[in-house]
Amino acid sequence: MTSPASPQPAAGAAAPEVVVEVRDAYYAIGGRPVFSGLDLKVRRGRITAVMGPSGTGKTTLLRLITAQITADRGQVLVFGRDLATLSTDEVYAVRRRLGMLFQSGALLSDMDVFENVAFPVREHTDLPEPLIRRLVLTKLQAVGLRGAADLMPGELSGGMARRVALARAIVMDPEVLIYDEPFVGLDPISLGVIQRLIKHMNTALGITSIVVSHDVKELASIADDSYLLSAGRIAASGTPAELRASDSPAVRQFMTGAAEGPVAFHYPAPDYATQLLATDE
Amino acid sequence: MSNGSDRGVLFEGVRRLGAVMIFLWQLLMQCLPALARPRLVVYQIYNAGARSLIIIMLSGLFVGMVLGLQGFELLQRFGSEEALGTAAAIGLLKELGPVVTALLFAGRAGTALTSEIGLMRATDQLTAMEIMAVDPLRYVAAPRFLGGVIAMPLLAGIFSVIGLYGAQLIGVVIMGVDRGVFWSQMQSSVGLRDVMEGLVKSLVFGVACSLIAVYEGYNAEATAAGVGLATTRTVVASSVVVLLLDYVLTAAFLQG
């Protein structure tokens, strides 16, 4: 904990304070640009959705925000601190104020549900056992899985694993909670549960939420702000309703799920006829 | 062309060695904090050590028996069968104990470590720890490394003891070497120095095998094929490194 009590910048009268900001970020993997001039702001206490087709770097964006990778150019500020300038200890101090829900849950496979949720508490605090027990049970109750405390991660369904991971992500009371594709691969009931939980974490606990997903419909009902990623930058931003009303072809294609549009159906390939007619070798 | 690719291989080799050494340094920095959680380290000693006991004891017995047979046959040619105890003890303590134990350890415990850590990498568990501000080097890698380093000399010791029993079984019980001569010869000619040589070797092998296993798992490509490949590399690299280090250490002990 280098500076946990850094004074909160006085929140302006109008918009809530910006907690995560990406400024003109460039990032390339193996020479292929993923981001070219990305700008994005996440305000305190709101649910911010980042949408975009597969392969537009949504997960890479989360890796930038959590300091797993550094931008080639531009800045990533979390709680007002430029991640690129921080030492490892300072990065860890920033991460303690973040929570992240992985698509796979990423539960530690050698401990049961209770110990998984207790893990960050045991690692970061010296709380007495009865208190840890109460804390963990409270969080498990919040995601409806208090009864599953003794199960091993292998015994959980996908939706349950994600809820346990959510309990683990909130056990240290993070200020910002990041969800990576929280709706993928869930049945309609689990999906509704996760959706309600995201909203609940936001309203009841006041947690700032960043939700990265391509599920437009699910996001629209819970998001306060949305960004649409396309071709390495933000193609559009605003409330979900504003995005739906947009007349930009890229936004329209994504929001309506059309096969043809700025995002081509075909992966770049040589001419079809030429390739078919070419003799072998 | 071939010159270029040779240089590529050499460059890659040096780069990898450098990467492993940097990893070792980072690992060592985390060993003291890891010792603050003795429970994790003790569990890994159990995991790498106790679970390898059966294979180590069985192999030790058979290696010792072969040593008894071959040693007796050879010494008989010079009419000095009574030296069998010494020959077996020196061979086991200084050479076969540490080396065979390390090779078995790489196959049994090393592969398990690599695939376990590799799977944790593939299922985002290591990343999740990083995001939870828990250093996986401290929580996952260091206890496993320490567990292997501590387990190896213990296993090598057990291997040698069982091996001696095997040699005695063949030499004394079956071939008829005098029991008293077998043990007293050994007692008078095997010194602390010989035991130390074996101990140092198995400690060094423990560091090498555990380091390779943990490094390969930690840096495995996060796919099923990547974890499989890393596991293979652990066995191959450990075996070669153990045999190479064995020569270097043997030469060093003969010098000193």
Give residue-wise pLDDT tens across range B106-132. Answer: 999 999 999 999 999 999 899 999 999
Which residues in chain B have their CB less than 8 angstroms from residue A99's CB? 131
Q: Give residue-wise pLDDT tens across range A165-177.
A: 999 999 998 999 9
Give residue A13's pLDDT. Answer: 46
- Among B124, B133, B134, whose Cβ lies nearest the Cβ of A106? B124
Secondary structure string (H, E, C) spanning A22-45:
EEEEEEEECCEEEEEEEEEEEECC
User: Edge to edge, what strands does the sheet with A81-82 contain?
Assistant: A32-43, A18-29, A73-78, A81-82
pLDDT bracket for residue A205 (50, 70, 90):
confident
CATH of domain A15-94+215-281: 3.40.50.300
Residue B120 to residue B126: CA distance in whole angstroms: 6
Which residues in chain B have their CB less than 8 angstroms from residue A64's CB? none
Beta-carbon pairs below 8 A across chains A and B:
52
- Hey, are the CB atoms on A66 and B135 less than 8 Å from each other? no
Question: In chain B, what are the domain boundaries?
Answer: 2-255
Quote the tokens at residue B114.
Answer: 């690599």
Check if A106 contacts B (Cβ < 8 Å).
yes
Check if A123 contacts B (Cβ < 8 Å).
yes
pTM of this prediction?
0.83
Q: What residue type is B129 in one-letter code?
A: M
ipTM: 0.80
- Among A95, A106, A108, whose Cβ lies nearest the Cβ of B133? A95
Q: Give residue-wise pLDDT tens across range B177-227.
A: 899 999 999 999 998 999 999 999 999 999 999 999 999 999 999 888 999
Burial of A97 per CB tally in 10 Å (0-12, 13-18, 19+): middle
